[in-house]
Amino acid sequence: MSPVSAPQRIALCLQYDGGHFCGWQRQRGQVSVQETLDQAIGALDPLPKHLAQELGRSRSFAAGRTDAGVHAAAQVLHFDAYGPIPAERWAAALNGRLPASIRVRASVAAPAGWHACFSANYRRYRYTIYNGRRPNLFLSPYSWHRYSCRLGEEPMALALEGLLGLHDFSAFQRAGSSRPHGRTTVQEVGLWREGDLISLEIQASGFLYGMVRLLVGQLVAIGEGRLSPADFERRWRQQRRDEVKESAPPQGLCLLRVGYPESLFPEGAWYDCQPRYRLEISDPPPEI
């Protein structure tokens, strides 16, 4: 059996339209981003049979596992390559084999011990809410159309700011998580309105399973006057998961970027790569 050369660790920054996939992670009988990418990697860099058995089915490892329907503007992952393709050529090589719903923005060589998930020091998500009365075909794949009333963005923003710091956010964790605790550090938050669009951003050292969508569901309830900021704070501080029932739909959520102690990619490839729509107010919903 011929020896296999030492692998080269490749880091990728990629975008995908989550509406085409069951999520990042492989799932039996469904189309995932991970499996689609692994197939393209395998076609370009096939492994000897004994090594393929040793490594298992998955070759790529991501910074975060996005759910079905959730988008990514700058997801980060790594894999080990054993063939001759230079690190910087992997982006173009993969884009020639991937569907149009996935695009690699950059590919670079990473240190052997570097890990897309465990080496990261933050993840940042953006959620977009369309608060206009009339439906908009071009916004619907990437926003939550909430039109029954004009949302009060100021109390929503104040409630969001109260999450800053290290806390137990078990109230915002969906069932089925294997995480042993609900503690994480929220590092930055922001919420602003531009015409009929409300954008919310949250950056943390890590996120619980379903955390952002459950959180946005609660914030919208505050904006519509159905939930007081005081009750919102009580729910998450007392870990009252039983009272957190509404989850925002996936299409408004986007993994905006992943941060590392040392930057790997050119800034234009990974920083704020989700375009932001700007709409003036037109035929707004009624006030609360």
The pLDDT score that the predictor gives to residue 113 is 92
For residue range 108-146, list pLDDT tens digits in order. 999 999 999 999 999 999 999 999 999 999 999 999 999
In a domain, 71, yes or no: yes
Question: What is the SS3 assignment for 213?
Answer: helix
The pLDDT score that the predictor gives to residue 75 is 98
Do residues 33 and 100 both lie within one domain? Answer: yes
pLDDT band with cut points at 50, 70 and 90 for residue 55: low
Do residues 134 and 262 both lie within one domain? Answer: yes
Helix (H) or strand (E) holding 9: strand 8-16
User: Could you give the CA distance from residue 69 to residue 66 in angstroms, rounded to a whole number?
Assistant: 8
Average pLDDT over the chain reads 93
Do residues 244 and 212 both lie within one domain? Answer: yes
The pLDDT score that the predictor gives to residue 1 is 38
Do residues 129 and 259 both lie within one domain? Answer: yes
Query: To the nearest 10°, the Cα dihedral for 61, 62, 65, 68?
Result: -90
The residues assigned a catalytic role are 67
- Average pLDDT over every residue of 3-32: 91
The pLDDT score that the predictor gives to residue 58 is 81
**Domain containing residue 142:** 122-270
Of 77, 109, 141, the domain-final residue: 109
In a domain, 275, yes or no: no
pLDDT band with cut points at 50, 70 and 90 for residue 42: very high
Do residues 126 and 262 both lie within one domain? Answer: yes
Query: Residue 94 maps to which CATH number?
Result: 3.30.70.580
Whole-prediction pTM value?
0.93
In a domain, 285, yes or no: no
Q: Are 198 and 131 a contacting pair, CB within 8 Å? A: yes
